[in-house]
C-alpha cells in the first residue's frame, strides 16, 4: 500500500521533539529522522500478497501439475494475503501520523495522496482490462473499480474484479479521507491514555470476526470452500469503515512511540511473534486468521522498526536494495496479479513439476519487479514530484 514520504517530524513541532521508547516511558529525545526500515519492510509485505495469489489453486493462476503439490502450496500461503494487507493498513496509519506536517491542510494532504495513488491505480486498471478482465467483467463492475467503489457491496466477484489486489485502495481512500479528522482527534489524547485507545482498537479488530460469524448469514460461502460466507467475509475483511480500525491502530501506535509511551521489544522478538501469529492462523476460524491473529505482532514489528531507525540502529531492511524495493512496492502490489494472470495465459495449457513451477513463479516475480520499476520511474515518481504541490502563480510586474 502506498504511504507518504518517510521524512518525518512529530506533530505540532517545527524541530521535531518526540520519544521513541527505549524502555523508560518517560524518556524524551529530539530528532528529525527518516524511517528507511519501514520503507524496506514494504516489499516483503507486498511479496506476501504475491505469494498468496501465486498459490491460489484456480485455473487462471496455478502452474503446478500435481494437485497435491498445488494444495500443499496453498496451505502454506493461504493466509499471507491477509497478513500483507493488514500490515499495509497499519503501516499507512503509522507513517502518515509520524510524517504529519504542522501547517498542513486537509486539501493539501488529499492532493498528495491522490497524485501518489491514483495514477498507478489507473495504469493497473487499464492493463488488467486490456489483457484479461474485459472478457468477463460487467461494465458496471469495471466502472466501480475505476472509481474505487468495488468495496461497498457484499459481492465477492465485484470486490475482487478487474485487478483484485486493488480492492484495498478502495479502503485506503476512506482512510485518507478520514485522516485529517482522526489526526486532530488523536492529538488531543493524553499520552498516558494512549494505551487504552490502542487496546480498544485491538479489541475491536479481534471482535470483528466474532460479530461477523454471530450476526451475518452463514451462506453462501466464498469461493474456495472457506468457512465463512460472502457477507461475513465482506464485513470482516473488506468493508472500509471496519478496516479503518487497522489504520487507526497504526496512528495511535505512532503517537505512543513519539510520546515515549511504547514498550519496545525489538525487531527480532517482534518477528518471532509474527511467525507464531501466522502459524496460529491455521488453528483459528478462517476470519480470525485473516483479520486478527497477526495484528499484535504487526504493530510490534512496525513500532520496533521505527524505534530502530530513530535510534540509528542497524536493521536488514535499510540497505540500498531494500530501500529501492520498498520504493517500487506500491507499483509491485498493483501489477503482480496482472503478471500472474497474463503469464498463465501466455503459458497456455502447460503445467509444471514443483521445481519448474517454483522457477516460473520466481521469474514472474522478477518480471513484476521490472514492470513495477518502470511504473514507479515513469509514472509514480514524476507525477508525484510535479503535482504534489500546486503551481505557484506568478505575480505580474508593474511598471
Query: Confidence class of residue 316 from pLDDT cuts 50, 70 and 90?
Result: very high
Closest CA to 249 of 308, 321, 300, 307: 300
334: helix, strand or coil? helix
For residues 121 and 183, give the distance between their C-alpha atoms in angstroms, rounded to a whole number: 26
| Cβ(209)–Cβ(292) below 8 Å | yes
Distance in Å from the first CA to the final CA of the chain = 52
**Picking from 23-27, 34-38, 309-313, which range would have the lowest pLDDT averaged per residue?**
23-27
In the DSSP assignment, the letter for residue 229 is: B
All three cell numbers of 154: 457484499
pLDDT score, position 86: 98
Query: Confidence class of residue 3 from pLDDT cuts 50, 70 and 90?
Result: very low
**Picking from 20-34, 61-75, 188-202, 211-225, which range would have the lowest pLDDT averaged per residue?**
20-34
**Orientation angle between helical segments 80-98 and 240-258, nearest 10 degrees:** 50
Q: Which residues contact 195 (CB under 8 A, 6 or more apart)?
A: 256, 261
pLDDT score, position 193: 97
The pLDDT tens digits for 52-61 are: 999 999 888 8
Sign of the CA dihedral with 279 first, then 199, 271, and 357 last: positive
User: For residue 149, what are the CA distances in angstroms to 43, 48, 161, 389?
Assistant: 26, 25, 11, 26
Please state the rounded mean pLDDT for residues 78-96.
97
pLDDT score, position 396: 52
The pLDDT tens digits for 110-128 are: 999 999 999 999 999 999 9
pLDDT score, position 397: 52
For residues 342 and 356, give the distance between their C-alpha atoms in angstroms, rounded to a whole number: 18
For residues 295 and 291, give the distance between their C-alpha atoms in angstroms, rounded to a whole number: 7
CA angle, 124 then 130 then 132, to 5°: 95
For residues 205 and 85, give the distance between their C-alpha atoms in angstroms, rounded to a whole number: 14
For residues 116 and 180, give the distance between their C-alpha atoms in angstroms, rounded to a whole number: 17
In the DSSP assignment, the letter for residue 135 is: G
> Could you give the residue ranges of the DSSP H alpha helices within 132-219?
139-146, 156-159, 167-187, 194-215
Amino acid at each position: 500500500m502506498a504511504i507518504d514520504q518517510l521524512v518525518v517530524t512529530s506533530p505540532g513541532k517545527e524541530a521535531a521533539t518526540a520519544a521513541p521508547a527505549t524502555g523508560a516511558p518517560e524518556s524524551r529525545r529530539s530528532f528529525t529522522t527518516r524511517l528507511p526500515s519501514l520503507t524496506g519492510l514494504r516489499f516483503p509485505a507486498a511479496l506476501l500478497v504475491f505469494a498468496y495469489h501465486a498459490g491460489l489453486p484456480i485455473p487462471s493462476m496455478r502452474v503446478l501439475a500435481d494437485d497435491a503439490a498445488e494444495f500443499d502450496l496453498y496451505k502454506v500461503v493461504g493466509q499471507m494475503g491477509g497478513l500483507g494487507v493488514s500490515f499495509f493498513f497499519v503501516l499507512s496509519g503509522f507513517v502518515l501520523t509520524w510524517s504529519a506536517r504542522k501547517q498542513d491542510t486537509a486539501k493539501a494532504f488529499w492532493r498528495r495522496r491522490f497524485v501518489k495513488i491514483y495514477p498507478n491505480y489507473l495504469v493497473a486498471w487499464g492493463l488488467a482490462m486490456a489483457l484479461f478482465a474485459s472478457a468477463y467483467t460487467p461494465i458496471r463492475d469495471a466502472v466501480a473499480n475505476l472509481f474505487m467503489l468495488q468495496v461497498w457491496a457484499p459481492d465477492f466477484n465485484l470486490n475482487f474484479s478487474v485487478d483484485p489486489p486493488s480492492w484495498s485502495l478502495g479502503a485506503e481512500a476512506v482512510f485518507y479521507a478520514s485522516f485529517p479528522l482522526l489526526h486532530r482527534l488523536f492529538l488531543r489524547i493524553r499520552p498516558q491514555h494512549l494505551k487504552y485507545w490502542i487496546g480498544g482498537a485491538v479489541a475491536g479488530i479481534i471482535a470483528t470476526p466474532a460479530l461477523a460469524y454471530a450476526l451475518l448469514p452463514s451462506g453462501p460461502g466464498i469461493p474456495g470452500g472457506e468457512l465463512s460466507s460472502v457477507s461475513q467475509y465482506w464485513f470482516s475483511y473488506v468493508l472500509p469503515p471496519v478496516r479503518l480500525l487497522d489504520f487507526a491502530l497504526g496512528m495511535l501506535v505512532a503517537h505512543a512511540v513519539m510520546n515515549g509511551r511504547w514498550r519496545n521489544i525489538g525487531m527480532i522478538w517482534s518477528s518471532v511473534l509474527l511467525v507464531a501469529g501466522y502459524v496460529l492462523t491455521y488453528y483459528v476460524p478462517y476470519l480470525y486468521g485473516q483479520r486478527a491473529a497477526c495484528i499484535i505482532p504487526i504493530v510490534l514489528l512496525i513500532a520496533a522498526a521505527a524505534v530502530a531507525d530513530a535510534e540509528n540502529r542497524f536493521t536488514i531492511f535499510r540497505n540500498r536494495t531494500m530501500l529501492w524495493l520498498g520504493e517500487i512496492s506500491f507499483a509491485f502490489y498493483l501489477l503482480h496479479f496482472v503478471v500472474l494472470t497474463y503469464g498463465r495465459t501466455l503459458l497456455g495449457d502447460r503445467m509444471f513439476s514443483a521445481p519448474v513451477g517454483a522457477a516460473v513463479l520466481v521469474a514472474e516475480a522478477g518480471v513484476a519487479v521490472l514492470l513495477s520499476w518502470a511504473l514507479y520511474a515513469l509514472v509514480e515518481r514524476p507525477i508525484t514530484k510535479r503535482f504534489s504541490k500546486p503551481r505557484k502563480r506568478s505575480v505580474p510586474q508593474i511598471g
